[in-house]
Structure 1
Amino acid sequence: MSSFAVFGITFGVIFLAELPDKTALASLVLGTRYRSSYVFAGVAAAMACQVALALVAGRLLALLPHRALEAVVGGLFVLGAVMLLLHKEDDEEEGEGRTPRSDSFWRVAGASFAVIAIAEFGDLTQIATANLAAKYGDWLAVGLGSWLALCAVSGLAILGGQKLMQRVPLHVIQRGAALIMLVLAGISIYSAIAG
């Protein structure tokens, strides 16, 4: 599979999975309180750290024998799809945390970084990024696709996420991402069985 195709798959899966996430909500809240460019700088840096951690995890998964790797990746995609389908819209806003004391760049960007880094750690999109990195072995395409998708969702949330959610029902977004993950799970599980 070409790097462009891997990038496209990764971007699509991560973008859809991140839309209904609490990280997007935290970005929206921070963006309404502080200068959006400062918030985005902190969010983008946090997402880069999270993607790097996911790529390392994916590299470790890739050390498994091929059939075992496909089975693990398939199982994790099924888990991700189930998490999306069972996601409740009224989850607590855990990502808000502390707000900066002033509007300086470093305080706003630093607070945004901390809030998003904590909210995103071990999140569905981080697990999906690790799975995609292990499955395709194209670390650059997966890393760039994942990071750009995460930044795109956060950017949309910061600049006007409420309007998107008014036009596209949350359950449609969640089901779309879950369907894509189930298809990827099916492909991985078939590959593990077929050898």
Structure 2
Amino acid sequence: MEAFLVSTSTVALAEIGDKTQLLSLFLAARFRSPIPIIFGILVATLLNHGLSAWLGVWVTEFISPQTGRLLIGISFIAVALWILIPDKEDDASSNLNRYGAFISTVVLFFLAEIGDKTQIATVILAAQYQQLLLVTLGTTTGMMLANVPIVLFGHRLMQKLPLNAARYTASIVFMLLGIMTLLL
């Protein structure tokens, strides 16, 4: 259960102000149909984070526990520092209408998550906890907690959310996880 809770909370915090959150806002404004967008986010995240968690579990088969702990601790600290760099909104294709809200969301979210800090965090969390299902469900829940309100409430929520405070909090959480991993 710890793997699920830590995965949920760290990804939910890391996602605030992330480019996929900006993508959620863009898709909500573009399509104005929240249900297909929400399900698109869910499907894309389950696919992307499921593959990422599998990679995290798989890679630990080839390294010693000590090396794995060192790499995981350093990776958590690197993600903590990376979170401090704000994301910028990427340009989205102008031909989205022909694919509809669900397909556009699945494709754009899956692609936006490739190499993103929440995807890297999923790999790290799975490597640390060795719990493919719990980490995938946790990171997906964290993504949904951070993105569904954006889809539903959009601009009003983004104007009131202190993005820098959320970014610093997420960075501190990842830094603490990294330090704890290295010391324990």
TM-score, normalised to structure 1, is 0.87
What SS does structure 1 have at the residue aligned with 2:97? coil
Q: Which residue of structure 2 aligns with residue 131 of structure 1?
A: 124
Amino acid in structure 2 at the alignment position of 1:39: I
Compute the RMSD of aligned alpha carbons: 1.6
Q: CA deviation at 1:60?
A: 2.2
- 1:109-147 CA distance string (max 9 Å, x none): 111111111111111001111111111112222111111
Amino acid in structure 1 at the alignment position of 2:182: I
Within 5 Å, give how 1:10-49 maps onto structure 2: 10-34=7-31, 35-49=33-47
Q: CA deviation at 1:41?
A: 1.8
Q: Counterparts of 2:139 and 2:91 in 1: how far apart (Å)?
A: 20
Structure 2 residue 97 is the aligned partner of structure 1 residue 101? yes
- 1:97-117 CA distance string (max 9 Å, x none): 344235xxx622111111111
| 2:44–2:106 contact (8 Å) kept in structure 1 | yes
| 2:57–2:131 contact (8 Å) kept in structure 1 | no
Q: CA deviation at 1:57?
A: 1.4
Amino acid in structure 2 at the alignment position of 1:155: V
Q: Which residue of structure 2 aligns with residue 65 of structure 1?
A: 64
Q: Counterparts of 1:40 and 1:153 in 2: how far apart (Å)?
A: 11
Identity of aligned residues (%): 26
Amino acid in structure 2 at the alignment position of 1:79: A
| 1:77–1:185 contact (8 Å) kept in structure 2 | yes
Quickly say closer, same or farther: Cα 1:96–1:121, change in 2 above 3 A.
Answer: same
Structure 2 residue 43 is the aligned partner of structure 1 residue 50? no
Q: Counterparts of 1:189 and 1:7 in 2: how far apart (Å)?
A: 21
Structure 2 residue 148 is the aligned partner of structure 1 residue 150? no
Q: Counterparts of 2:147 and 2:91 in 1: how far apart (Å)?
A: 13
More off after superposition, 164-173 vs 114-123: 164-173
- 1:127-183 CA distance string (max 9 Å, x none): 111111111112222111111111222211101143333333111000000000000
Q: CA deviation at 1:52?
A: 1.1
* Unaligned runs of at least 5 residues, structure 2: none
Structure 2 residue 118 is the aligned partner of structure 1 residue 120? no
Amino acid in structure 1 at the alignment position of 2:78: L
What SS does structure 1 have at the residue aligned with 2:128? helix
Q: Of the candidates 154, 159, 166, which is equivalent to residue 159 of structure 2? A: 166
| 1:47–1:147 contact (8 Å) kept in structure 2 | yes
Q: Which residue of structure 2 aligns with residue 77 of structure 1?
A: 76
Q: CA deviation at 1:31?
A: 0.9
* Unaligned runs of at least 5 residues, structure 1: none
Q: CA deviation at 1:95?
A: 5.6
Q: CA deviation at 1:96?
A: 2.5
Q: CA deviation at 1:68?
A: 0.4
| 2:18–2:86 contact (8 Å) kept in structure 1 | no
Q: State the number of aligned residues.
A: 182
Q: Counterparts of 1:165 and 1:18 in 2: how far apart (Å)?
A: 13
Quickly say closer, same or farther: Cα 1:95–1:176, change in 2 above 3 A.
Answer: farther
